[in-house]
Structure 1
């Protein structure tokens, strides 16, 4: 039997399991807007950003903005800091009134964003300690030229005749920010917070082997825009021994752009973490890289788009279930390489001592994932 048996999203919930959505959320955000980081070396961040496929829109001694080719805000905001850290995410409100409603419901103040971004924001903190901004009315950057998807001959269906395929080894131009993945010691509390405050809905749940009765340990979560399709996940949350950024994903034109862009990164000495392959939950073709500060970033293409009529899928979390095809998942991607072993061990010991959702049973489930 295939290792992928019973791993797909068509398998739904059992009676009494999490609904995957709040009954009466405060607002329903429309998309993820940008991510914010602090880094000590902005020059290094800009050089990698260009090689990864971003275009800088702002560069001062203390701040760097990186955009994709789509209309909208920058995808990434990097500010100079003493140490490297993920600060938080901004989500796009459907309208300004939603920012005001969310501020009133949470007792927070609406503030104006700096002029390079424009618009207004209400700043919240999720149960895991990450900053969550809900924004509206920011400046809209005009569309930039993008890489055009190639014309393919599929089997006997001929679309390209008397013409060759010659993708250039150049940066895979980022079109837009797709999603961010976060780890939390308070997974269920944090999940419910996002569903209730931002109106997000779950596309897929994952659970540890033999622990389904204890509930999920990971969720892929999308925006609820009614009958308008949105990304399979705008946010993904997973239970773990620390509260941290896991990775973020940026859409590119197609597989050729991704592969040729990967060669461009490799030739410049950057580290591929895992890829190229195709995921199961979300279906996207992926390629993961480490930036010079150690952050994991993903190129993706051809992801699933769902409207709000689909109910959550349920599947067991396994390492082999991370991809339909591609190279075996790496220790670097799983966080099990020797370089991170000491840090992970300290995080585990600390989490087991604290009052949170990561206990011994969950630790055993997580260890099984790495070998499954």
Structure 2
């Protein structure tokens, strides 16, 4: 590893770690995963799911009565796999290992068998459960689909740099072409246990920790984790995880070409009656320009562009977890994005709060509930 770079010198966070605070990486992880591969869902209506997917900017790889595989423009395996099911649910996700040796090593350490993936995907996988009970597949050797024609970024006149003369900018209101899956955000009742599991077994590095307002002494309540690629930069976060009253999917994010693609693609979605949850704005942790949408099954999905890329030298930042601190600029964060708008999601969350604090087999205590309640109003 290269020499570590601090965070309190005008870099990605105003504050770095204090002595004794949670580590940002494992000294000797079992393996170091390379990237996120795909997400898996079950949904009752694949026709409706595919219609939204095309409007959002995915391309279909496979469509049967029981399966739907979707991809971006970059050469990789499909980044979304949807199975027909009786109800809508998140069914797990996959990481890519550097090679099959890493998959075998992880399987041996975890005492789990490997399996051959379907011929249409290729390669091998080991199937695990993280401490939250979420299925995690680590794969290697999957076929990379041929690249599709990408959406071309616009040429911009920025400051006094004149790059465009006698030419207008008229971005078409068409779907923003998804390039790739960037990250997934999860909520866990066993946040610290799960965090350590990803650091120790998959070799992930924490880019930023967040703590509930007034509770830094109780430890972090959210972490943004990146893949450790050594000197090769990786996304600020491939996996983000927050402490909460139930184990659940929060959102996933997909990269697009630039702000014009994101904004014009958002207009395309809006004109077709889809629901924008929050956006357009620029995040603080990760810096990406974002635009959040709800799919017809209520899942939160994000278009993003211009995100931070870190190598293995940058140390973690620490900041308070506040609603106003989620964006550098943009409209105020919505109740829908926070999951507190009236509806099924907020009702389920309230019920799970009551259940979680009654049981002692998780990390969501009454004190942590008080901290979480401050997030939305701070």
Gaps of 5+ in 1: 1-5
Residue number among 69, 89, 102 corresponding to 2:73 in the alignment: 69
Residue number among 181, 188, 199 corresponding to 2:192 in the alignment: 188
Instruction: Give the TM-score normalised by the residue count of structure 2.
Output: 0.96
Which residue of the partner structure matches residue 369 of structure 1? 375
Which residue of the partner structure matches residue 107 of structure 1? 111
Alignment of 1:93-172 (within 5 A): 93-172=97-176
Matched, 1:343 2:375: no
Q: Distance in 1 between matches of 2:302 and 2:11?
A: 22
Aligned length: 367
Residue number among 42, 49, 55 corresponding to 1:45 in the alignment: 49
1:281 deviates by 0.2
1:8 deviates by 5.3
Residue number among 311, 315, 320 corresponding to 1:316 in the alignment: 320
Matched, 1:234 2:238: yes
1:117 deviates by 1.1
Gaps of 5+ in 2: 1-9
Alignment of 1:274-285 (within 5 A): 274-285=278-289
Which residue of the partner structure matches residue 360 of structure 1? 366
Partner secondary structure for residue 186 of structure 2: strand
Deviations 1:214-263 (A, max 9, x none): 10000000000000000000000000010000000000000000000000
Instruction: Give the TM-score normalised by the residue count of structure 1.
Output: 0.97
Q: Is the 8 A contact 1:8 1:315 kept in 2?
A: no
Q: Is the 8 A contact 1:7 1:316 kept in 2?
A: no
Q: Distance in 2 between matches of 1:268 and 1:298?
A: 17
After superposing on structure 2, the runs of 4+ consecutive aligned residues of structure 1 that deviate more than 6 Å are: none
Deviations 1:299-333 (A, max 9, x none): 00000000000010000010000000000000000
Which residue of the partner structure matches residue 4 of structure 2? none
1:77 deviates by 0.3
Q: Distance in 2 between matches of 1:114 and 1:77?
A: 13
1:353 deviates by 1.4
Matched, 1:212 2:216: yes
Matched, 1:177 2:175: no
Alignment of 1:76-91 (within 5 A): 76-91=80-95
Residue number among 231, 238, 243 corresponding to 2:247 in the alignment: 243
